Amino acid sequence: MAGLALTNAVLRTLGETDCETLGNGWLAQPVNALSSLAYSLIGIAIILSALRSGRPQGRPLIYAGCLIAVGLGSVAFHGPQLSGSQLMHDLPILLTVLFMVNHDLSLLQPRLGQEFANFAALTLAAVLLAVTVPAVVAPLTIAVAAAVVVAEIVIYRRHLRHVPARHRRSGWVVIVTFAVVSGASWALGRSNSPLCEPDAWHQLHGLWHVLSAVVFGLWYWWAIANVRDWAS
């Protein structure tokens, strides 16, 4: 019983820094939980787009699978808060940004070898790390996300000079705008923020879910659906 009580106490802390009041039941944080489905919806949209385009479907399907997992993991984290919810929340995000940086590196350094084999190795390493040292997943995710930004800048400057400026800049402007606004939503949606309203139906952390999901979708449109063709 003591162990069960300790487990419940730990689970009650999940999501407590994300402003919304923690309730009981399967939707402990209803707005944050339901808004998490935006990631999965973007993933499904990518799958449908890939199937209709007639393009090679390996990259879109893997990336979409990562996003669907991000959504489901975030629902588990903000909703029923099952045992292991933290890992279910954090690991898919890490795998998503690992896919992104691996994709970019395959453009910058083709001699690195098979892109999918490299991602499989990264996935295995990430899973092992998350299970054995879960505390490093969040900072590692931030570091990998920063590497994605750097890689995208290098691709933009090195491989896309022949692309008309209006095409290059329009994609970047849209993605950066959504990224900045979503980042601001995350920061302002923390529990210690003056804009935090724990019992409101509008939650800035929920807005972060929707906007960051859009950023992931825009990255697919930019990096996989367009840049790979432009850079070839």
pLDDT of residue 11: 40
pTM, to two decimals: 0.86
Query: Cβ distance 7 to 83 under 8 Å?
Result: yes
**Helix or strand or coil: residue 49?**
helix
pLDDT for residue 227: 59
Q: How many CB atoms lie within 10 A of CB 124?
A: 10
DSSP 103-168: HHHHHH-GGG--HHHHHHHHHHHHHHHHHH-GGGHHHHHHHHHHHHHHHHHHHHHHH-TTS-HHHH
Encode 161-178: b = buried (16+ Cβ within 10 Å), e = exposed: eebeeeebeebeeebeeb
Mean pLDDT, 10 residues at a time, the chain of 232 residues: 39 66 90 97 94 80 96 95 89 96 87 81 94 94 95 80 66 89 94 91 95 95 68 49
CA 69/CA 64 separation, integer angstroms? 9
